């Protein structure tokens, strides 16, 4: 190109600055800066005082505290693990099933697909309060009413859905395991409520993936005499693997740090790590410990992500 062109041209470096600098400045001010501050808090004992804060150096003691001296921390981790793993399993199985159905040809498919996405758009708070009302533990509750109508529940009985009964209460080993995990009926019902809202997202990500699979592959497999199960694992699953990885990573992030729905329905009585962090940091104003806890949560999520990548791409690494 001519020298005139070069003269008029903005250098790559300058262009980069113009495009990226505003975003970088914002990120430093509202994300990196506060995170760095949070890290400093996490290695201190931070006591609020009027118009400021007193810091006392503690090194890694805040982190060590949670790991070795705080049984509540590990209980919170177990509850959160249960919440995350069970939610993921239900969302994936239900989501895959619905996606496979919606991928078939049937009358009104466009309409059904549009409707199925709607729960995902319900704000989390609205979803929480909607299910709070469905789960109402009196005879007013819709779930109790529905079960009575279909005859699954005697007329005079009402189940307190958001109660603290441990599932499988009579069964020896199972009930002990669940109570050790911190599982309650309320937790299971919250998983159901959350799954209702989030499964559409899983469905739509999978549907987008399903549409990439060439129909001819299934035809060839049929000619070779493969049954439906075999076709699912060697074609559908193989093609959807990257989508599954994305769903696992995205959903684990959201599930492991869950806060809104549990706080609204149960306040501090189901202490998943998100609730425990909030309680430590903002209710008891232990800024140092709260910050340490929040970094530990991120570490767990990071560990999950690495685990998935390792499991899914074992062959390639």
Partner 1 sequence: MMNISLLNKKILKRIGLYILVILILLWTVLPLIWMFLSSIFPYKELISDRVDHWLPSKPTVRHYMSFFDPSKEISSRFLASLRNSMIVASTTTIVCLFFGSLAAYAIVRIEFKFKKAMVMSLMFVRMLPTITLIIPFFIIVNLIDTGLIALFGGNVHLYDSKPLLIILYISFTLGFVIWIMRGFFLTMPRDLEDAARIDGLSRLQTVFRIVLPLSSNGLIATGVLAFLLAWDEFILALIFSRSDAAETIPLFIAELGSQYIHDFTQISAAGVIACIPPFVLVLIFQKFIVSGLTMGSVKG
Question: Within positions 33 to 72, which residues make up the interface with partner 1, using CB under 8 A?
Answer: 33-35, 37-38, 41, 46, 48, 50-53
CB of 19 to partner 1, least distance (A): 4
- Site residues (CB under 8 A) for partner 1, limited to 79-98: 98
- Site residues (CB under 8 A) for partner 1, limited to 101-130: 101-102, 104, 106, 108, 112-126, 128-130
* Residue number, 55 or 181, with CB nearest to partner 1: 55
CB of 64 to partner 1, least distance (A): 19
- 292 near 66, Cβ under 8 Å? yes
CB of 122 to partner 1, least distance (A): 6
Between CA 252 and CA 262 the distance in angstroms is 16
DSSP one-letter code for 232: I
Considering only residues 28, 67, 133, 180, which one is a binding residue for partner 1 as defined by CB under 8 A? Answer: 133
What backbone phi and psi angles, to 5 degrees, belong to 55? -110, 135
Q: How many other C-beta atoms can be found within 10 angstroms of the C-beta atom of residue 245?
A: 16
Considering only residues 76, 257, 266, 271, which one is a binding residue for partner 1 as defined by CB under 8 A? Answer: 257
Q: Six-digit token pair at 164? A: 């603290």
Q: Six-digit token pair at 205? A: 């990500």
Distance of CA 185 to the CA centre of its chain: 19
Considering only residues 93, 169, 246, 311, which one is a binding residue for partner 1 as defined by CB under 8 A? Answer: 246
CB of 95 to partner 1, least distance (A): 11
Can you give 19-88 as a three-state secondary structure string?
A: HHHHHHHHHHHHHHHHHHHHHHHHCEEEEEECCEEEEEECCCHHHHHHHHHCHHHHHHHHHHHHHHHHHH
Binding span for partner 1 by CB under 8 A among 29-37, 81-89, 172-180, 223-231: 29-37
Considering only residues 168, 196, 232, 239, which one is a binding residue for partner 1 as defined by CB under 8 A? Answer: 196
* Residue number, 184 or 199, with CB nearest to partner 1: 199
SS3 assignment, position 152:
coil
* Residue number, 230 or 283, with CB nearest to partner 1: 283
- Site residues (CB under 8 A) for partner 1, limited to 144-173: 144-146, 148-149, 155
Q: How many other C-beta atoms can be found within 10 angstroms of the C-beta atom of residue 45?
A: 16
- Site residues (CB under 8 A) for partner 1, limited to 202-241: 204-205, 207-208
């Amino acid at each position: 190109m001519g020298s005139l062109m070069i003269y008029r041209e903005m250098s790559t470096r300058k262009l980069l600055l113009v495009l990226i600098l505003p975003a970088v400045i914002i990120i430093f001010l509202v994300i990196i800066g506060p995170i760095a501050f949070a890290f400093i808090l996490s290695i201190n004992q931070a006591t609020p005082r009027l118009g400021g804060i007193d810091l006392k150096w503690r090194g890694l003691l805040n982190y060590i505290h949670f790991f070795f001296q705080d049984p509540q921390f590990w209980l919170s981790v177990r509850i959160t693990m249960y919440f995350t793993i069970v939610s993921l399993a239900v969302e994936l199985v239900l989501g895959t099933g619905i996606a496979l159905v919606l991928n078939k040809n049937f009358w009104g498919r466009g309409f059904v697909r549009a409707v199925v996405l709607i729960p995902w758009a319900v704000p989390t708070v609205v979803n929480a309060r909607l299910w709070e009302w469905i789960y109402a533990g009196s005879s007013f509750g819709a779930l109790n009413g529905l079960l009575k109508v279909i005859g699954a529940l005697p007329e005079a009985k009402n189940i307190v859905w958001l109660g603290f009964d441990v599932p499988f209460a009579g069964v020896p080993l199972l009930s002990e395991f669940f109570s050790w995990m911190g599982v309650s009926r309320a937790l299971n019902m919250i998983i159901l409520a959350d799954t209702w809202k989030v499964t559409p997202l899983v469905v739509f990500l999978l549907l987008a993936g399903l549409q990439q699979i060439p129909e001819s592959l299934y035809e060839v497999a049929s000619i070779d005499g493969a049954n439906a199960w075999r076709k699912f694992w060697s074609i559908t699953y193989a093609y959807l693997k990257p989508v599954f990885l994305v769903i696992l990573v995205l959903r684990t992030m959201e599930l492991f740090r869950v806060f809104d729905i549990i706080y609204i329905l149960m306040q501090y009585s189901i202490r998943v790590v998100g609730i425990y962090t909030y309680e430590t940091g903002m209710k008891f104003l232990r800024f140092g410990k709260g910050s340490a806890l929040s970094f530990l949560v991120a570490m767990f999520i990071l560990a999950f992500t690495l685990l998935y990548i390792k499991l899914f791409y074992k062959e390639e690494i």
